[in-house]
Amino acid sequence: MTSTSKDDLTGRAFGSYVLIRRLGRGGMAHVYLAHHKTLDRPVAFKILKPELAVDRAYVARFHREAQAAAALVQANIVQIYEVGEIEGIHFIAQEYVRGQNLRQYLTRHQVVEPILAVSIMRQVGAALNKANEHGVIHRDIKPENIMLAPNGEVKVTDFGLARIADDKRTDLTQIGIAMGTPLYMSPEQAEGHKVDTRSDLYSLGITSWHMLAGRPPFEAETALAIAVQHMKQELPSLQGIRPDLPADLCAVVHRLAEKSPDDRFQTPQLLIRQLRNLDFEDIADWELLTERLAVDETIHAAGAVTIAQTKLEVTRQLESIMRGHFIPWWRSTRMLVCLAFLTLIGAVAGTMFAFLRPPEDPFARQALIDDRVEPLESAQEQYYAALWITDPVQAEQAWKAVQLNFPPYDEKGNEISTHLLYARKADVRLGALYLQTGQFEKAEKVFEELAGLEETEEELRLIGIAGQALVFDHTNETLEVERLLPLLYREIDKIAGFMGDETRALLERYRSNGLEPAQNH
């Protein structure tokens, strides 16, 4: 497989590791999905950026990350397998977690359901408890570093800012870069004071507030301004924003995020104990959420793993040819077919490059090979599967598949209520996708159809009208937005989810410009 850029090492082999595709880039390292040939398992392969590898201090800190994290063997911590250097490449091989991180979940759903939020808090607390036992401080707890696996398991990753509390050697965390993330950083860390496990608990508290409120509690244009708010400004009342939340849960979040470390939970174990005392009666919610998480195995595994394994098989057979090993004719034929297939994909991708943003890894994008997404067991499963898709092109196909695979009406024109429900919900998501990716003409068509629904489907109809207003706002059709303002001001509380949040922001902006209808003053 050819790399899409000169710094992309996809396809390269380092010792027993073959790099399959790039998963992401951080401040210090590039992360790849790799296959460990000897152990025959996927790993996350973290490579120190070349420009940093020339600095001995950075290299020392990079290796120290692995040494700190490798000692933390616990179910809720991403496990380090190996740290080393091959061909001048400094790397860390660690556990590969299928699924998404909490930031990606929030991007899709805006908020985390209370019962799932408590599960995340408990499991992150368990990870911090193990770290505390070893004197390790994470120093950068945030949504991006919290992984949500398909089976509901939560894992904390990236101990890149970890530090051994009783280590008296030179403090490598003070290399000339900002440590931690200002949106979730504790006051004592922002001020440069000594930190301990209670600082990580503060960051978990701010992350939990974000999970439940749908946004971080403190936001500003500069990192310094955010840090000052963490130090000086009172945390907004979570229950004031979400009166539907249990008061006990809100109290736990606020205690985690107290300004003074002495006022917080003193250990992660005390936090876990308090969370266990919370009572949730609606078990059905948890079953629905775990079903949503489990769907990842069906979609991502089918696309990324199956094709990646095909590619690996081809690679292994090519290596056998290079070594002069005999391959039976029936396997050779299969190999040639695979090679031709992969070559065809590459040619098509190259042709379309000027028109569509290509995915990071065509071998992990099954939905782009065939316009029809594989049907699942039900419309509900098809809908929840689509929630996991992050690539815009693939997501469009996945949302369309809800109605394509489960038509809302039978051959006689009779309504299939469950299919229709998820078809409508998929339309909302599809319209939002078009809106977010700047495809305003497509978005307008979707929202226009929703806006034309009958009064009996009031919420969906209002979401359609709100979507139209957002499209008109993006396309600078101010008069069209103003035409819809009276209805939106009057009915905003009936517009659900992320469409409601975006619409409220739009209305607030128009209100500040004096365009609120007189009857609403």
Active site residues: 140
Among 348, 310, 347, which Cα is nearest to 331's? 310
Residue 83 Cα to chain centre, angstroms: 26
| CA pair distance 109, 331, nearest whole angstrom | 45
Judged by DSSP in three states, 401 sits in: helix
Of 292, 56, 252, which is closest to residue 151 (Cα–Cα)? 292
Give the span between the Cα atoms of 269 and 128, in whole angstroms.
Answer: 9
Is residue 107 classed exposed, middle or buried when 0-12, 13-18 and 19+ CB atoms within 10 A define those classes?
middle
- Angle (nearest 5°) at CA 424 between 423 and 426: 65
Backbone angles phi, psi at 127, to 5 degrees: -65, -45
What are the residues facing 83 on neighbouring strands?
Answer: 92
Closest by CA to 176, choosing from 64, 63, 58, is 58
Element spanning 266, H or E: none
How many Å apart are CA 256 and CA 277, to the nearest integer? 16
Residue 169 exposed, middle or buried by CB count within 10 Å (0-12, 13-18, 19+): exposed
Helix (H) or strand (E) holding 20: strand 17-25
Q: Find out whether 15 and 86 touch, Cβ atoms under 8 Å.
A: yes
Residue 193's contacts (CB-CB under 8 Å, 6 or more residues apart) are none
CA 135 to chain centre: 29
Q: Helix, strand, coil shares of the chain as percentages rounded to 5?
A: 55, 10, 35
